[in-house]
Amino acid sequence: MLKKVVWEMCVRLASDVVKVCVTGAAGQIAYSLLYSIAKGDVFGPDQPLCLTLLDIAPMMGVLEGVVMELNDCAFPLLREIIPTADEKVAFSGVSAAFLVGAMPRREGMERKDLLAANVKIFKSQGQAIDQFANKDIKVLVVGNPANTNALICSFYAPSIPRENFSCMTRLDQNRAQAQIAARLGVRNDAVENVIIWGNHSSTQFPDVRHATVEISPGKRIPVYDAVKDDNYLKNEFVTTVQTRGAAVIKARKLSSAMSAAKAACDHMRDWWIGTQDNKWVSMGVVSPGVYGIEKGLMYSFPVRIQNKTWTIVEGLEINEFARKKMDATAVELKEEKDQAMDICKA
């Protein structure tokens, strides 16, 4: 009888552990990301975790070092670490996945070549998720081109609801929020409801027309009224956010790993725990056909989240300037989607 009670307690304890997969786990984004996940910044300060770390076979030696460091951190929440190059092992029983690993764009590589390389990766991972992951898994695609990679991954996981796949535009939101805060000389968290529309690319549209800023305790006004510079908000601000990734690479000689990892944590934390009050965040999700965006595109919208379910914030006024920007990034996404699907058919 005692053995049965102990066994049942062990089963309950095991079921309380959330299994999380990170791909590209030997890479530089994951190096920052894994620390925050294991520390409890994403799934909660009391949530025990099991991490499965997926990378390609040639990176297993590097991944072994990452595992050693995670062990040396002695995280109280981290119950198990499973490094692997096997997608079945990586995705079995997983409740949340950060798909960070992707083929990077190399010098001389055309965008269609990048799409072709990544279609194979995300097709395979989608199939593995479909077969082995929990059916309520939340999948965040970070690897670029993130929107189209997420779309392909969802297409090849037909047993998982499509709304359970999203791509990260939170980095762009964070960048836009920080630019406005710096312009106004306020804390970053004083700026709320910045929107990123469309693709995580240089066509994205950072929109602050519906954003607000707390300029003094208890006093919140529209960002446009605080900045008082329409030319800046329609030109320099937009361009700065659109090209920020390239600027970081030029200065650092490496991509923006720390800020990307932080944004991935922000994205999954809000998806897992929910957004507060009347705030919204930007996520790349499958378009249901709202705001004039073609149904089926993986497009970034403002969303609110409750009970791990996102809902697009509808009814926002779209002026002529915004309409042109939103349509331009949708055109790019449609081209990417068509190219990717053609590759899949081939």
Per the annotation, binding residues for substrate are 105, 111, 144, 175
Among candidate residues 138, 170, 183, 200, the one labeled active-site is 200
Query: Is residue 83 left, alpha or beta, with left meaning phi > 0 and alpha meaning psi from -120 to 50?
Result: beta
Mention every residue, 6+ apart, whose C-beta is less than 8 A from residue 56.
85, 101
Q: Which two tokens stand for residue 17?
A: 């552990």
As a whole number of angstroms, the distance between CA 116 and CA 110 comes to: 10
Closest residue by Cα to residue 17 from 62, 49, 61, 55: 49
As a whole number of angstroms, the distance between CA 27 and CA 217 comes to: 42
CA angle 124, 95, 74 (to 5 degrees): 110
Q: Phi and psi (nearest 5°) for 191?
A: -95, 130
Task: Look at the chain and count its residues.
Answer: 346
Q: Is 267 among the residues known to form the active site?
A: no
What does R_g of the chain's alpha carbons equal in angstroms? 20
Residues of the binding site: 55, 105, 111, 118, 142-144, 175
Closest residue by Cα to residue 133 from 158, 108, 111, 103: 158
Mention every residue, 6+ apart, whose C-beta is less than 8 A from residue 107.
none
Q: Which two tokens stand for residue 128?
A: 């593995």
Residues of the binding site for NAD(+): 55, 118, 142-144
Largest CA distance in the chain: 75
Q: Which two tokens stand for residue 186?
A: 């306020």
Active-site annotation, residues: 200
